[in-house]
Amino acid sequence: MGDSLPFLVMVLLQVGYAGMNILSKLAMNSGMNPIIQVAYRQIFASVVIIPFAYFLERNTRPRMTLPIFFQIFLSSVFGLTLNQITYFVGLKHSTPTVACALTNLLPAVTFVMAVPCRLESAAIKSRAGQAKILGTIICVGGAMLLSFYHGSKVPIGESTIHWNYVIRNSQDPTNQNTHHSFMLGPFLLIASPVSWAVWFILQAKMSHSYPAPYSSSALMCVMASFQCVIIGLVADHDLSSWSLYPPIRAISSIYAGVVCNAVSYCLMSWCITRKGPLYVSVFSPFLLVIVAVLSWALLQEKLYVGTVAGSGLIVMGLYTVLWGKNKEMSSLANDFKIKNIEEFDIAKLENGDVEFVKNEK
């Protein structure tokens, strides 16, 4: 179970995120302000996760200190507030498939940021290091191709699924939120993984100083709730914009808060502790494939040559990075004369030192 459980958790998380992308796009198409949607997401997440944090970690929760509190605050700013606002506003001005594809910049950005923090090693003279650098370049190139080149439509035919709600919503003349922006959408969607990569780095460090993922996630959600509500009130003074009617707004907000905040951030924190920040970030291609299929089937989204080619390059780059990471871990295990690396949770690279932690289970 050393590798299979984190793998299964990350795959299920991608399925959960795919549902969020579809529901959130439908809510924004109904006229919901994406910033207000993010605020509701944080509120619902806080309501769900606080009881779990209190009861599950009341006897094991470490003592809170000012430096740890500040780390959690920074995590809430970068991992929840900035990451989600830029993503949701970018999604409003783009499509779910493009949004998910650009999220795949995350491993490349995480690798670039993790190297100076000594959480990852470049090692350009080794095959592993070269693979991670080459994969990063391919990933970024694919993201740029996808963002700025459409090309002709891919002739895959029309979906036979006709969701009446989507058809009525697309024909509603009062809907003013389905327009796309060629530059604004991709720019914000690129800014989102940058802020998320900062969260990965912060979380990797905090998992050692404050090993209480439920409590830290609860604090992050509460802080982000206040931050997003303030930003939402400043961005839209009309209180009627905060209405959760039609029901798709309430459904998408509750789903995003419970599944994609309360559940996912706890599970990602757990996976980061066991496998490291880069491992968690390389599962984005699963999300891209799932969302592309659902968007075509349910939202009648068209696929373009640029989207498919760029997505293919991104996936190729991501798994090149993953191959390099696995090669590096195997090399470290051999250096430390570890026969079965699956018996260990993670190689921690702090201050240049490597430490393998025995799996207690």
Region 59-70: what's the mean pLDDT?
A: 91
- CA–CA gap between residue 196 and residue 79 (Å, rounded): 5
First and final C-alpha spacing in the chain: 9
pLDDT at 242: 95
Each residue's pLDDT tens digit, 202-223: 887 787 788 888 899 899 999 9
Let me know how long the chain is.
Answer: 361
Each residue's pLDDT tens digit, 116-132: 776 676 677 788 888 88
Each residue's pLDDT tens digit, 327-355: 777 776 665 555 444 444 444 444 444 44
Which range among 32-41, 101-110, 207-216, 218-227 shows the weakest confidence by mean pLDDT?
A: 101-110
Q: What is the pTM of this model?
A: 0.79
Residue 211: in which H helix or E strand, if any? Answer: none
By CB atoms closer than 10 A (0-12, 13-18, 19+), residue 1 is exposed
Contact (CB, 8 A) for 46 and 54: no
SS3 of 303, please? coil
pLDDT at 283: 78
Which range among 5-9, 139-143, 168-172, 301-305 shows the weakest confidence by mean pLDDT?
A: 168-172
DSSP class per residue in 228-283: HHHHHHHH---GGGG---SHHHHHHHHHHHIIIIIIHHHHHHHHHHHH-HHHHHTT
Under the banding of pLDDT at 50, 70 and 90, the label for residue 99 is: confident
Of the CA atoms within 13 Å of residue 205, those in its CB half-sphere come to: 19
- CA–CA gap between residue 306 and residue 26 (Å, rounded): 24
DSSP class per residue in 85-122: HHHHHHHHTS-HHHHHHHHTTHHHHHHHHHTTTTSS--
Query: Which tokens go with 161?
Result: 């699924």
- Name the average pLDDT for the chain: 81
Region 189-199: what's the mean pLDDT?
A: 90
Does residue 277 surpass a pLDDT of 70? no
- CA–CA gap between residue 314 and residue 318 (Å, rounded): 6
pLDDT at 75: 93
For tokens 């799932």, the residue is: 290
Contact (CB, 8 A) for 279 and 325: yes
Which residues in 15-26 are b (16+ Cβ under 10 Å) and which e? ebbbbbbbbbbb
Q: Which residues contact 56 (CB under 8 A, 6 or more apart)?
A: 214
Region 320-327: what's the mean pLDDT?
A: 80
Each residue's pLDDT tens digit, 170-180: 555 555 444 55
For tokens 């995590």, the residue is: 75
Contact (CB, 8 A) for 323 and 133: no
- CA–CA gap between residue 7 and residue 191 (Å, rounded): 27
Does residue 195 surpass a pLDDT of 70? yes
Does residue 31 surpass a pLDDT of 80? yes
- Residue type, position 156, single letter: I
For tokens 């951030």, the residue is: 265
SS3 of 45, please? helix
Instruction: Give 79's DSSP letter.
Output: I
